[in-house]
Amino acid sequence: MNKPKISKWSIVGLMTLLVVLVACQPTTVEVTRVVTETQEVEVPVEVEVPVEVEVTRVVTETQTETVEVMVEEAMLGSEERPIKVVFVPSVEVDAIISGGEVLAQALEEATGMKYEVSVPTSYAATIEEMCASPDDTIGFIPAQGYVLANNRCGVTVGAAAVRFGLSWYAAQYVVPMDSDAQSLEDLAGKTWCIPDFGSTSGYLYPSAEFAKLGIEPGEIVETGSHNNSMLGVYNGECEFATAFFSPPLLPNFGRAWAYGVDDPEIWREAGVSPVRTEEGRTFVNGDPAEGGYRILDARSSVSDTAPDIFDRTRILAVTAQIPNDTVSFGPEFPLNTANKIVDALIDFTASEACATSICSEEFYNWTGLEAVTDSFYDPVRDAMQFLGISEDDILGG
């Protein structure tokens, strides 16, 4: 049998077919994977994504802490911290300032300390100054002023003034010489000049007396000083006025004027008008040592301005006795220093220099000092209580 003859080209075609068939079959292939291990690292990336976030507010609280800083205060009575000496403006301010400087110089020489003199604008302002400077202030204040200051802040009395041996004075009611008034009752409805609502003799005691008698005066004119009140009635600005009264000195100093017995103007018995001397003293018929009288009431302080004031005015009456003016100290003033100053003032009132200061008629007309306690001024408290007057009424609340 003849075998078919296969050409090489047939073999080639057969192999090609086999290759194609193999390629078209699904084949499982083992593959070795090469994996590169990557480490996960957190990298902060700013991404603007709206996210609800709970926010905790941190609040810084500022606290105010008071820290006491110890500052060394200047010594009392030094150049940096002089002792304050205050006077009420009861007479002419110029006289107080000039006379006050004389007093301050004498105190400086006696105590080795420095002083500063001032005159506040009113009785109330003087008291407020003492309360505002409790540890370095001396006040020359009248009885009611002292009580007000004691009530207000505890001001203490150091001594009381003495005028020619007396530790008291009074208030006088002065009217024009031709006034129809013959008694206090006749002053009802009349215009009234007073120095100050804080004045003991100028307002407090007369008011208490009016209240007890049921007398209601007319318009009240506050003049600012005893001098101005006397000039007010002299010039016809009011129908009567009140101011301080000190008894006259009698001829040859034979005896003292007797309260409630002698006429307040006993000197009119001499039959001549008072005369003011160059030294500022007011005499009737000469010096008492020469058989005359010496007038010490408030009109003598203005007799140089109004020489005929005694001829054109008269004293209608005087009030009850009033404790004399005070030398008072702030509530925290050192006691030892206060005693030292009072001793120096006692010596000063006995000196010739005092005649140009608080011993002058133009000033307070003091002749000495005496030790007193707070109870010495109880009559003034009683008068204030009777009228229902408190420190708030005069000094304000």
Query: Does residue 135 or residue 362 have the better pLDDT?
Result: 135
pLDDT in tens, 42-85: 444 444 544 454 544 444 454 556 555 555 678 999 999 999 99
pLDDT computed for residue 134 by the predictor: 97
Beta-carbon contacts of 77 under 8 Å, excluding residues fewer than 6 positions away, are: 83, 111, 112, 113, 114, 115, 337
List the single range of 25-34, 166-175, 186-195 with lowest mean pLDDT. Answer: 25-34
pTM: 0.74
pLDDT in tens, 248-290: 999 999 999 999 999 999 999 999 999 999 888 999 999 999 9
Mean pLDDT in residue range 200-209: 96
Residue for token digits 């208490």? 208
Q: Which domains does the chain possess? A: 83-165+324-395 (3.40.190.10), 169-246+297-322 (3.40.190.10), 247-295 (no CATH)
pLDDT in tens, 75-117: 999 999 999 999 999 888 999 999 999 999 999 999 999 999 9
Confidence of residue 142 (pLDDT cuts 50, 70, 90): very high
In this predicted structure, the answer to whether residue 32 has a pLDDT above a threshold of 70 is: no
Mean pLDDT in residue range 208-230: 97
Looking at every residue in the chain, the average pLDDT score rounds to 86
In this predicted structure, the answer to whether residue 4 has a pLDDT above a threshold of 50 is: no
pLDDT computed for residue 55 by the predictor: 46
Amino acid at 217: P
Confidence of residue 362 (pLDDT cuts 50, 70, 90): confident
